[in-house]
Amino acid sequence: MQSIVLTIQILNLHIFSTEFAIHESIPIYSGGLGVLSGDRLKSASDMGLPLVGVGLLYRYGYFRQRLSFDGLQQEEYVENNFLHMPLELVKNDDGSELVIDIDIPNQTIYARAWKIKIGRIPLYLLDANIDKNSKDAKTITDQLYGGDRDMRIRQEIVLGVGGAKLLKTLKIDPDVIHINEGHSAFLLLEKIRQHMEDGLSFDAAFQVVKSNCVLLHTLLFQPAMKFFM
């Protein structure tokens, strides 16, 4: 009787998401998108799959809802104390904080990284509230889904570009990157830039990124945010 041997390749998967719902003690999420992202990390840990999460660490997170005596919604923002959360700062070999720089027109934004273990899975979260930033830049990671369109696009640049730079700095090289919703779209541009920096042409870099980045969420144009330059 002939035996058949199956070889299964386990790919290193990274998930970028603007929110992760891990536990109510880490209030950096609002609803379904965060629950989906958080559950993927937990499931990967249970199954022993190699996965890394990348997101933003919000100073105030999403608002807490209260109702007035008239039945009207009132929003309340409560400041998170990161030192009371199961977080650790990501540091350089010399013990200093690891800080990522993200260039945008007329400004450089700096972000430090925090790490939290979801079982066996690391989740890295970028935080712009540091002294190197301007007063305005410090507020980029204040609120989840807060601010105007200018603030939202800066958040998405920090998540996508800053997250990709963080992984490269940590020498973490994914086989597949899952972009949860379009909030991390700038990741694609940064990955193309990195490949071109390594010597590939734009067309070759584009094909590499196209082959190992996936989007699994809203595929309709209508609900997508539009930014006018």
**DSSP state letter for 120:** T
Q: Tell me, what's the pLDDT at 200?
A: 94
Stronger pLDDT, 132 or 176, i.e. the higher one: 132
Q: What percent of the chain has pLDDT over 90?
A: 56
CB 82 within 8 A of CB 69: no
Q: How far is CA 65 from CA 69, 77, 104, in A?
A: 13, 9, 34
pLDDT in tens, 30-76: 988 889 899 999 999 999 989 999 999 999 988 788 888 888 888 88
pTM: 0.87
Contacts of 211 (CB under 8 A, 6+ apart): none
CB 152 within 8 A of CB 140: no
Q: Tell me, what's the pLDDT at 185?
A: 86
**DSSP state letter for 71:** S
CATH topology of domain 13-215: Rossmann fold (3.40.50)
pLDDT (average), residues 98-126: 95
* Least confident segment among 96-105, 146-155, 176-185: 176-185
pLDDT (average), residues 108-120: 96
pLDDT in tens, 156-188: 999 999 999 999 999 998 888 888 777 888 999
Stronger pLDDT, 12 or 219, i.e. the higher one: 12
Stronger pLDDT, 6 or 136, i.e. the higher one: 136
SS3 219: coil
Q: How far apart are CA 87 and CA 93, in angstroms?
A: 18
Task: Tokens for 220, please give them.
Answer: 């309709």
Stronger pLDDT, 200 or 61, i.e. the higher one: 200
Q: How far is CA 43 from CA 30, 40, 118, 120, 215, in A?
A: 20, 5, 10, 10, 19
Q: Is the model's pLDDT at 154 over the cut of 90?
A: yes
**DSSP state letter for 158:** I
